Amino acid sequence: MRIPPHYQQPSWQRFFAGAAIGAVISWGVFLFIFGVIQEEHSTIINKQKQTIQDLENDKKIYQDEYTKLNKKAQEKLTVQEIKIKLTNGDRYLFKDFRITNIENSVKEDLKDVMAKDIESIVSNHLLIERIIENKPLKFDGKEYKLEMTKFMLTTTLYIEIKISFVD
């Protein structure tokens, strides 16, 4: 089998030369356009990576802040401190030491209230009143009883008590 002698004719030589030059030029244009498009895509991807990183940092900050706020809200909804005040201790000529002992003994009786949520304390405020009023105290051969006069409840449980002789 023989190749036709078209390669010797100048018209065919110009055609093949034009096709080869056209292929080289089109390949160059293709590479240029492809490079420009890839550069644009890489720029977009880098911007998106930066945006994602910024959003992840913001999300982390918000999550940390949300956790802190939840802890603060949890603390606000529970009893954090108990304060007892004996209002008429000086009427019975009690020294500060005895008044402090009475207040501390009432605090000791109410220590189970610490870290409880406020709703359960409000629903059981009569139980707290009975715990305080049913506590007998004996000093110097005399019996005393306690009476709750004020009950305030926030994150601090504040109770004012009054002492009197047992009848």
Q: Quick one: 30 and 98 in the same domain?
A: no
Question: How remote is the C-alpha of 97 from its chain's centroid?
Answer: 43
Query: CA 106 → CA 45, 82, 135, distances in Å?
Result: 67, 10, 8
**By residue range, what is the domain housing residue 62?**
5-76
User: Can you tell me whether residue 115 is helix, strand or coil?
Assistant: coil
- The pLDDT tens digits for 126-166 are 999 999 999 889 988 899 999 999 999 988 999 999 999 88
Domain count, the chain: 2
In 21-155, which ranges are E strands? 81-86, 137-139, 142-153
Q: Please tell me the distance from the alpha carbon of residue 153 to that of residue 125, in angstroms, as a whole number.
A: 10
Among 76, 109, 131, the domain boundary falls at 76
Among 76, 106, 131, the domain boundary falls at 76
Q: Quick one: 108 and 148 in the same domain?
A: yes
pLDDT of residue 37: 97
